[in-house]
Amino acid sequence: MAALKVAIPKERRAHERRVAATPETVKKMAGLGLAVAVESGAGVAASYPDDAYRAAGATVGDAASTLAGANIVLKVQRPLEQGEGANELASLPRGTILIGLLDPLMNQAQVGAYAQAGITSFAMELVPRITRAQTMDALSSQSNLAGYKAVLDATEYFGKAMPLMMTAAGTIAPARVFVLGAGVAGLQAIATAKRLGAIVTATDVRRAAAEQVESLGAVFIAPPDLNDAEAKGGYAKELDKDAQARQAAVVAEHLKKQDIAIATALIPGRKAPVLITADMIAGMKPGSVIIDLAVEQGGNVALSKPGEVVEVNGVKIVGHRNVPSRIAVDASALYARNLLAFVQPLIEKGGALKINWDDEIVKGALLTRDGAVVNERLKPAA
């Protein structure tokens, strides 16, 4: 029996430099008995050349030969559809298993297209946050790097040094960094800013976040009567109107004294909440920098624009797209390991496909099967 074929196509969405497999994971997939095909140039933007994939045991070819007869297709981002450029969805063989960061809650119509195309699809964003699935948690692996890069991006636009410096010419005060949202990205931003010597504060709508923030040496900022807004899986949920007003008042006052603000708050399947309003920006010091990590999901910052650096009254608002892709080498390495951890339980000894459709992880991530949308979170809109 021919070995199962795993295809790694080149990512074609704008601003995407990551790749879904590295030579390390290709070698491990080959060790499982899988035949791995990589599209030529797929890893070049992440510094993984074609020859490295060949040395790891993959075949390297053009897009058509890579996808021909593929049983499993691993991707970073969801495939392009008709009208978006190259129609990647149409090039996937019927019956293929598609696994990637498919953003299904924000792109439900495309999930229906997977079903119509006869594709079995899994979204890495929907892998349950359980102990057994920690190695598959792609949201965390990518958010962690985004939080780190956000601080480095802030230093690029900030006209001062970050740490306290004692010099013969005088003392340089440490920068004040305020992190809004203490999830994975926020906590890494706190840790990175602390390592650079900044005075760091942070806020979040979840009570549990206070202890995590303080464990990293930062000060937690919140109204004294903060209501807990933690949803299932540890994610934040939206505050009620009164709580939003109290939180906003605290944030507005605190921002007046800050040099850098890093906004990281996301609500799965929803537009990002606005945490920094135009009025708050008007109250900030000239030379301050705001990084909006949520800019592609509507933005945490009122005046941010995807892919642009906007300056308002001397305050720079940075809205870089796809921040994990800006650290493509490590982002690809971590994401490829997440995918490998997800795929391994689906393969039995000898390289045959064996999926336990009742497994909690499989059920959580599964979007479409047998021509239908089957995920409970998507069924009503399908």
CA-atom Rg of the chain in angstroms: 22
Joined together, the tokens standing for residue 24 give 């390390």
**Do residues 63 and 39 make contact, with C-beta atoms less than 8 angstroms apart?**
yes
Percent helix / strand / coil, the chain, rounded to 5: 40, 20, 45
Alpha helix locations (H) across the chain? 23-31, 50-56, 63-67, 88-91, 108-116, 138-157, 184-195, 208-215, 241-255, 278-282, 328-343, 360-365
Alpha-carbon torsion, ordered 298, 304, 306, 308, to 10 deg:
180
| Catalytic, out of 12, 54, 129, 195 | 129
**What is the full DSSP assignment across 8-53?**
EPPP-STT----S--HHHHHHHHHTT-EEEEETTTTGGGT--HHHH
| Catalytic, out of 12, 13, 50, 235 | 235
Identify whether 142 is a catalytic site residue: no
User: CA-CA distance, 298 to 85, in Å (whole number)?
Assistant: 23
What is the side-by-side order of every strand in the sheet holding 176-180? Answer: 219-220, 199-203, 176-180, 260-263, 289-292, 315-318, 309-312
Identify whether 129 is a catalytic site residue: yes
Question: Which amino acid would we find at residue 156?
Answer: E
Identify whether 259 is a catalytic site residue: no
| Catalytic, out of 134, 215, 228, 270 | 134
Identify whether 140 is a catalytic site residue: yes
7 forms beta bridges with 37, 73
Identify whether 137 is a catalytic site residue: yes
| Catalytic, out of 17, 18, 91, 137 | 137
Active site residues: 129, 134, 137, 140, 235
